Amino acid sequence: MILQSLAAVLQPLTIILVAVGTVIGIIFGSIPGLTATMAIVMFLPATYSMSATQGISMLMALYIGGISGGLISAILLNIPGTPSSVATCFDGSPMANKGEAGKALGTGVVFSFFGTLIGIAILVCLTPMLCQFALKFQSYEYCALAIFSLSMVIALTGHDMAKGLISAVLGALLATVGLAPIDSRPRFTFGLFQLNNGFSLVVLLIGLFAIAEVMNFAETVRQKQNYTIRENVKIKGCGFTMREFIGQIPNMLVSALIGIGIGILPGIGGGVSCMISYTVSKNTSKHRELYGTGIMDGVVASETANNATIGGAMIPLLSLGIPGDAVTAMLLGGLQVHNVAPGPLIYEKNGMVVYAIFFAMILASIFMLIFMLLGMRFFVKVLRVPKNYLLPIVLVLCGIGAIGNANAIFDTYAMVAFGLMSYLLIKSKIPTVPMILGFILGPMFEQNLRRSSQLISSDPIMSHPIFLVFMVATVFVVIFSVRANKKEAKQAREAEEKAAAEANQQS
Amino acid sequence: MKNKQYRQDIIPGIVLACFSTAYLCMIPKIKAFTGLGSTPLTNHFVPYLWGGVLLFLSLWLIVRGILKYRRFKAEGGVVEKTSAKSVISDKREVVASFIALALYVGLMEALGFVITTILYTFAQILILTPREKWKKNYLPAAIVAVITGCVLYYIFKMLLNVLLPSGILAAFNL
């Protein structure tokens, strides 16, 4: 099966699709405001008529390219191309200011490559083990897993727990539309047959992310953009010496492990992992005072971690069907389109696709390394692509994606409605990522809760230790996050009061 | 405290409270299955759970917003009055984009993918372009719109078999 998957990925058409996906991913990652999620949203309809292996290989290439491309604008413009590259700005941009743009870019590219490879290695090792473990799960365990995952999402996304919870509950509430699990009775369909199957995950994601992103750009139309692009960039070799590379290996390994660990946790992605690994790298360094002045250690920490997050986020997606962040939620939609059901039985039912994903990820990483080292000048030029022309085309492609999902125009209406909802939620400071997790975990929770209610008389809860572990972990997460939330709120209030006092003094 | 902070709690709180109340009122209309193989928890249970939690959180948000408002007033804050007209004017590109998008998907079935895509892409490009640059962009926007509509229709309908609506072009077998 492994060789069959390798042969499928090494088909000329699949190689071309992975190469094209990587280039487009890098372009989307490099342009601030466009993300890997949007690249996947845009190209999902193009994969509808492809085989599962080809389609998912292309989506994986878009993902890896999209996360890696963010370093270009982070270093050259001091604006992160994607949220995953926020910490790359801290040292990448000062390096560019010192005339070391080539070295910063080379470091970012090479360590992104190694970060991705370490992530893939852990993914390949951990996924079968987690699948094996998850085979022991019955309805009690799945129910507890859904509750635990939701608690993690709410605890880790944003400063405002109440709003995170509202978002997750809204997602779960949207998932109740359609035929009920187990008894298949219609709920909240208002007599519309189009709603019998409920809302599609892909349509929800397009509305939440693509439309909201375009609207965010629309808000800035009248604002002047004042940044200059350094176009004269040369990378000699990899941009750094072998000695420098060897010196960065411990930093790379620690950052990769942080990235993978954060990727596995639901609800948080590369944006958090790069910040945490940068902070850890800085705090454990012998020359921490140099961080932020333009040293390669900071770029290594950030770029290794955000790319290692890719492998980490794929682990719960493939083995449990729980996405780690927005991009993996989109990939879950892509897998569903191609009738691949992630979960503990994925190796038995779609083993070939799983191995193809691993091979496609390795191939995309190699393409990313080659294209970014050799074609940096091209990607720098792409930063000039006018977004007022690009975004309408993205929205048209999103519309095609929504129509093609179930060959129904109705889904485009839902897409616009979700887009409007997303825009209003963002304006109310309600995060949208928990909503996706609520939408995915809600049905899982309901189905297994109702099944458990049938079993409870014959199969006592106390005979399910995994269930009990998840519930105890949930209690800990809730207590920890409530405490952290209170502390953060107190700090924010104090900072606000301090700022108000300073303003009063000045006036 | 910034003026907007309490509004960001009170307004969504009220909207979500209304929404969750309406949702909860609709649950009794769902037909519950009580036959052989039915579960002790019916298909009403989880909607009641989510609806109830959302209502509680919305009310929590409203109360939190009111408390913030009181603190804001106690600190001597002055409430800025903003009219709907000024908000719409401030966000005119966003409002126009949503209207264009709604018209695009609303008219797509009747007029067809190609025509609506050309019109929408042209309009959306101009919406996302600063007004003083419109004159320069009429022709490029029109060219991009026509190419986008025709090329995407050809790729997705003809090559990838996605069922895009032909609309009035169906008469020409397109």
Measured between CA atoms, the residue of chain B closest to residue A399 is: B105
pLDDT score recorded for residue A207:
87
CA atoms within 13 A on the CB side of A121: 9
Write down the mean pLDDT value for chain A.
85
% of chain A with per-residue pLDDT over 70: 95
A428:B1 CB<8 A: no
Q: What angle do CA B6, B9, B14 make, to 5 degrees?
A: 120
Model confidence over A322-378: pLDDT tens digits? 887 778 888 888 888 888 888 888 888 888 889 999 999 999 999 999 998 888 878
pLDDT score recorded for residue B122:
95
Residue A398 backbone dihedrals phi, psi, to 5 degrees: -65, -40
Q: Using 50, 70 and 90 to split pLDDT, how confident is the model at A268?
A: low
pLDDT score recorded for residue A2:
77
Please give the average per-residue pLDDT across A420-427, as a whole number.
Answer: 92
Helices A139-156 and A465-506, axial angle in degrees (round to 10): 10
Residues of chain A found within 8 Å of residue B56, distances taken between Cβ atoms: none
pLDDT score recorded for residue A507:
64
pLDDT score recorded for residue A229:
61
Model confidence over A20-71: pLDDT tens digits? 999 999 988 888 777 788 888 878 888 888 888 889 999 999 999 988 888 8
Residues of chain B found within 8 Å of residue A447, distances taken between Cβ atoms: none
A387, A400, A428 member nearest B11 (Cβ) = A428
What is the Cα–Cα distance from A451 to A77, expressed in whole angstroms? 54
A183, A217, A424 member nearest B38 (Cβ) = A183
ipTM of the complex: 0.91
Residues of chain B found within 8 Å of residue A42, distances taken between Cβ atoms: none
What is the Cα–Cα distance from A174 to A168, expressed in whole angstroms? 10
- pLDDT exceeds 90 at position A456: no
Q: Cβ neighbours of residue A337 under 8 Å, at least 6 residues apart? A: A44, A47, A48, A55, A202, A405
The answer to whether the beta carbons of residues B153 and B113 sit under 8 Å apart is yes
What are residue A178's DSSP bridge partners? A187
Please give the average per-residue pLDDT across A450-463, as a whole number.
Answer: 83
Residues of chain B found within 8 Å of residue A388, distances taken between Cβ atoms: 125, 128-129, 137
pLDDT score recorded for residue A267:
62
Model confidence over A289-326: pLDDT tens digits? 888 888 889 999 999 998 999 999 899 889 888 887 77
A185, A387, A391 member nearest B43 (Cβ) = A185
Q: What angle do CA B156, B159, B160 make, to 5 degrees?
A: 55
Please give the average per-residue pLDDT across A422-442, as a whole number.
Answer: 88
- pLDDT exceeds 70 at position A270: no
pLDDT score recorded for residue B46:
92
Nearest alpha-carbon partner for A407 in B98, B113, B107: B113
pLDDT score recorded for residue A158:
60
- pLDDT exceeds 60 at position A74: yes
A172, A173, A396 member nearest B148 (Cβ) = A396
Name which residue leads in pLDDT, B21 or A266.
B21
What is the Cα–Cα distance from A460 to A306, expressed in whole angstroms? 43
- pLDDT exceeds 60 at position A185: yes
A27: which 2 tokens?
């372009």
Nearest alpha-carbon partner for A142 in A442, A494, A499, A413: A442
The answer to whether the beta carbons of residues A78 and A94 sit under 8 Å apart is no
B61:A162 CB<8 A: yes
pLDDT score recorded for residue B3:
54
Q: Using 50, 70 and 90 to split pLDDT, how confident is the model at A231?
A: low
Residue to substitute from B26, B62, B128, interface A, most A β-carbons within 10 A = B128
**Domain layout of chain A by residue ranges:** 2-140+202-224+235-443
The answer to whether the beta carbons of residues A467 and A199 sit under 8 Å apart is no
Radius of gyration of chain B (CA): 25
What are residue A187's DSSP bridge partners? A178
What is the Cα–Cα distance from B65 to B57, expressed in whole angstroms? 12
Residues of chain B found within 8 Å of residue A179, distances taken between Cβ atoms: none
Query: What Å distances lie between residue A492 and A484, A487, A489, B115, CA to CA?
Result: 12, 9, 5, 52
Residues of chain A found within 8 Å of residue B58, distances taken between Cβ atoms: 166
Q: Say yes or no: B105 contacts chain A, CB-CB below 8 A.
A: yes
What is the Cα–Cα distance from A326 to B104, expressed in whole angstroms? 26
Distant-in-sequence contacts of A275-283, Cβ < 8 A, 24+ apart: A275/A86, A275/A87, A276/A305, A277/A87, A277/A301, A277/A302, A277/A304, A277/A305, A278/A87, A278/A90, A278/A302, A278/A305, A280/A254, A280/A255, A281/A251, A281/A254, A281/A255
Residues of chain A found within 8 Å of residue B164, distances taken between Cβ atoms: 400, 403
Please give the average per-residue pLDDT across A188-196, as a whole number.
Answer: 88
Question: How many CB atoms sit inside 10 A of residue A250's CB?
Answer: 11
For residues A34-47, b (16+ Cβ closer than 10 Å) or e, as one string? bbbbbbbbbbbbbb
DSSP calls for A364-386: HHHHHHHHHHHSHHHHHHHTTS-
A404:B162 CB<8 A: yes
B97:A428 CB<8 A: no
Nearest alpha-carbon partner for A67 in A116, A20, A17, A19: A116
A487: which 2 tokens?
């502390």
Q: Say yes or no: B47 contacts chain A, CB-CB below 8 A.
A: yes
Q: Say yes or no: B98 contacts chain A, CB-CB below 8 A.
A: yes
Model confidence over A103-123: pLDDT tens digits? 888 999 999 999 999 999 999
SS3 B144: helix
pLDDT score recorded for residue A96:
84
Tens digit of each residue's pLDDT, chain B (174 residues)? 555 677 888 999 999 999 999 999 999 988 887 777 777 788 889 999 999 999 999 999 999 999 888 888 887 777 777 777 887 888 889 999 999 999 999 999 999 999 999 999 999 999 999 888 888 889 999 999 999 999 999 888 887 778 888 888 877 766
How far off is chain B from A255, nearest CA to CA, in Å? 37
Residues of chain A found within 8 Å of residue B26, distances taken between Cβ atoms: 188
Q: Cβ neighbours of residue A22 under 8 Å, at least 6 residues apart? A: A61, A62, A64, A65, A364, A367, A368, A371
B39:A454 CB<8 A: yes
